[in-house]
Structure 1
């Protein structure tokens, strides 16, 4: 005599996502791009120093590309690069290419970087920041058909390296809060 197949206990179906849940999910996905754009606009305020827009943008794009790449996708990075070009009056496309290259490198090495200590990630970012600043300077010189001074690019790279710990501290807290909210019922 054959036994009937075992019945699986049926749990309650998951509640349909309501409006508040959808808004919350959208906010978690949109926060990295919007917060980076907001910081870029703040950094574009007129001051008597070289523009810190690149120095603020690099840590944000690198951090979110490593720790939340689904929220920092290439189209968002493209728009951030375009905004950077418009804010700094750089030749259109130079910031886009630099940020997309940084994003690609961060996503490529994210599995290695996510398991490293903060110091190792910071050193890796410093190498990437100097490379990005060099490429940005090179693209500006090629697109403008003249050699601009390299000091602003070095300043931006050094400032990005110096700002990374503070920016990463704040973004780590935000990322942990977002992860906690995603796991909570």
Structure 2
């Protein structure tokens, strides 16, 4: 009715909203911890973090806020034993670019978004390489950075497939409530 305020949301509704808002950051952190397991692929943690951060920054930027990206980057640095700050800065830059281009990218085809993500992957691998060289005062070998960029770009379609399904379920759940 017009003029009547809506009743305040109950506890379950608030918990549901909180869980839906925290899901992207928590699933990203969980996947990173799984990727840090004994796989023998050190670039897998970064190759897990970047697709999740970029995807959620484009399609649900409120749920992937800069403080969450900061914590995810810090977790990445701790899991990979990288110089502290490299994962934080690279993920925050990628997040900022994804959020600034999100209105354009959200309307494009998957292939175009994937090609843009390949640029994100190459850029973050290169930027991480430079940051590591500056922080360590030693130029690291370049092939691991290329491997990380290729692995990240190659894993994006699988992550995008799963994350887009989760996003669709979240949108459907929001529309029904």
More helix by share: 2
Q: What is the rounded CA distance, in whole Å, between the counterparts of 1:41 and 1:137 in structure 2? A: 22
Q: Aligned pair 1:180/2:176, yes or no?
A: no
* Structure 2 contact 36–42 (Cα < 8 Å) conserved: no
Task: State the alpha-carbon separation in 1 of the partners of residues 40 and 14 from structure 2.
Answer: 43
1:140-172 Cα shifts (integer Å, max 9, x gaps): 111011111111111111111111111001100
Partner of 2:9: 17
| Aligned residues between the structures | 177
Equivalent residue for 1:76? 68
User: Contact (CA 8 Å) 1:43, 1:51: kept in 2 or not?
Assistant: no
Say what the alpha-carbon RMSD is for the aligned residues: 1.2
- The question of whether the paired residues in 1 share the 8 Å contact of 2:43 and 2:147 is answered with no
- Within the candidate set 150, 157, 165, 2:149 is matched to 157
Unmatched segments (≥5 aa) in structure 2: none
Give the corresponding residue for 1:5.
none
Larger Rg: 1
1:95-174 equivalences in 2 (<5 Å): 95-174=87-166
1:48 and 1:54 mapped to 2: Cα distance?
14
Give the structure 2 partner of residue 3 of structure 1.
none
Superposition deviation, residue 109 in structure 1: 0.3
- TM-score where L is the length of structure 2: 0.96
The alpha carbon displacement at 1:49 in A equals 3.0
TM-score, normalised to structure 1's length? 0.92
- Is the 1:85–1:94 Cα contact (8 Å) retained in structure 2? yes
1:89, distance to aligned residue in structure 2 (A): 0.4
Corresponding position of 2:47? 55
